């Protein structure tokens, strides 16, 4: 699978199966979107702690957190993977599932 195919975006409800090599090629993209989301969530969580007594601002920050999490999840799904928890992903394989967790540079077979 060449890099062009890795960047293919799939409909959210379309499933696919990856070879080990194809799954490995997803890691840089997963790393990028997960790193960006983690940084964003760290900032938002700090703001949420600061504004915990202000329900309006706290609610607005919580909505941003939810949006960020949903955006990360959607991006992972569009790459053909399945979000398990924040920055932990299951990649359907031909003989099972691969698991990847931020910030690992390798896959685990499941």
Q: What is the pLDDT of residue 12?
A: 66
| Predicted TM-score (pTM) of this structure | 0.83
Q: What is the pLDDT of residue 24?
A: 95
Query: Whole-angstrom Cα distance, residue 12 to residue 23?
Result: 18
Q: What is the pLDDT of residue 94?
A: 87
Q: Is the dihedral of CA 32, 81, 68, 2 positive or negative?
A: positive
Run means of pLDDT, 10 residues per run, the chain, 110 residues: 54 81 95 97 94 87 97 95 95 94 92
Q: What is the pLDDT of residue 15?
A: 75
Q: What is the pLDDT of residue 50?
A: 86
Residue burial 40-79, b: 16+ Cβ < 10 Å; e: rest: bbeebeebbeebeeeeeebeebeebeeebbeebbebbbeb
């Amino acid at each position: 699978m060449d890099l062009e195919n890795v960047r293919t975006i799939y409909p959210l409800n379309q499933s696919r199966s990856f070879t080990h090599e194809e799954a490995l090629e997803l890691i840089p993209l997963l790393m990028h979107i997960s790193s960006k989301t983690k940084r964003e969530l760290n900032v938002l969580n700090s703001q949420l702690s600061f504004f915990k007594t202000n329900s309006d601002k706290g609610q607005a920050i919580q909505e941003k957190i939810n949006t960020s999490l949903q955006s990360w999840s959607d991006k992972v799904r569009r790459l053909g993977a399945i979000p398990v928890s924040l920055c932990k992903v299951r990649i359907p394989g031909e003989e099972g599932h691969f698991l990847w967790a931020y910030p690992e540079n390798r896959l685990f077979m499941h």
